[in-house]
Amino acid sequence: MKKILAGAAVLMSFNAFAGGNIEAGKAAVQKFNCAACHGQDFNSPVDPSYPKLAGQHEDYLAHALIAYQRGADGANGRGNAIMGSQAKPLSHQNIQDIAAYLHSLPGSLVLRK
């Protein structure tokens, strides 16, 4: 039993360090045409109700994409027809890469106190 728990702990620690690839993320946002709605710099969306993505926290971006994949009926899901259809074909690695790329960009988000 101790060996199983130790093995599981090692595997979980590797997953914690498994991040996205920024260059692959850049290619993915181009492939999936994310800039069409979120702006070429990901700071100036075409509609003010769309979020600015540049500089956003990597884990938040990944969680949001997974939530869109799940949809409104899924556990911790988000309901949005456009984002749902955009997120559906993304692999787990696509999500990690996109999140890493968007996080790496300079953002215009401002923290309020």
Do 68 and 87 touch, CB atoms closer than 8 A?
yes
69 pLDDT more than 80: yes
- Distance CA(10)–CA(5), nearest Å, equals 9
For residue range 24-35, list pLDDT tens digits in order: 999 999 999 999
pLDDT one-digit tens code per residue, 99-109: 999 999 998 87
User: Tens digit of pLDDT for each residue in 47-61?
Assistant: 999 999 999 999 999
What b-and-e string marks burial along 63-99, b requiring 16 or more CB atoms within 10 Å of the CB?
A: ebbbbbbbbeeeeeebeeeebbebbeebeeebbbbbb
Beta carbons within 8 Å of 34's beta carbon, 6+ residues apart: 42, 53, 86, 98
DSSP three-state, residue 57? coil
Cβ contact 24:37 at 8 Å: no
The whole-angstrom separation of Cα 40 and Cα 72 is 28
Q: How far apart are CA 30 and CA 9, in angstroms?
A: 36
May I ask the CATH architecture of the domain 20-104? Answer: Orthogonal Bundle (1.10)
Q: Note the pTM of the prediction, 2 decimals.
A: 0.79
